[in-house]
Amino acid sequence: MVNIQSSVRWDRNGATFTDQQYSRGHRWLFDGGVEVPASSSPQLIPLPLSVEAAVDPEEAFVASLSSCHMLWFLAIAAKRGFVLDSYADDAEGVMAEGGDGKMRVTRVTLRPDSKCVGERQPDSDELLSMHRAAHDQCFIARSVTSEVRCFPVGVSCLADDHTPGELA
């Protein structure tokens, strides 16, 4: 078992609070001393009550899925003998009303784009295989109920009965 900790810190800073006109800006603190400015999303709580330059929980959720997938993909590619030179993902989350009438992140779409160097280059089938394995191993993806989709950039083959390049 692995224990994961983080700390969240918020201060009222003199705001009335009960009028709901307080800042949603706060800080996330992680091991090693990393401090991340955080806030509610300006799409949900208008400025100036939100902090546009801060990370909101929904963005962090999408980023954590993308990051987890990438870390597994890198490990799998290295184990299979591919030399990755770069990896980028412009992931996107969608918030919608769930069956219970409450808003939730219902879908996250990953769009990983990896570049290999050297003579050994993965073909589309090998890329899909590595992305499937990464998705299957990702702790975060296995921990959520949101649909997590992956469309590797540059993969145009039809994966089973899914959209071209999509991983189930």
Q: Three-state SS across the chain? A: CCCCCCEEECCCCCCCCCCCCCCCCEEEECHHHCEEEECCCCCCCCCCCCCCCCECHHHHHHHHHHHHHHHHHHHHHHHCCCEEEEEEECCEEEEEECCCCCEEEEEEEECEEEEEECCCCCCHHHHHHHHHHHHHHCCCHHHCCCEEEECCCCCCCECCCCCECCEC
Task: Name the fold adopted by 57-150.
Answer: GMP Synthetase; Chain A, domain 3 (3.30.300)
Is the pLDDT at 166 greater than 90? The verdict is no
Mean pLDDT of 115-133: 94
pLDDT tens-digit map of 72-104:
999 999 999 999 999 999 999 999 998 999 999
Percentage above 70 pLDDT, the chain: 92
State residue 159's pLDDT score: 43
> What's the pLDDT at 156?
57
As annotated, the residues of the chain forming the CATH 3.30.300.20 domain(s) are 57-150
pTM for the predicted model, two decimal places:
0.86
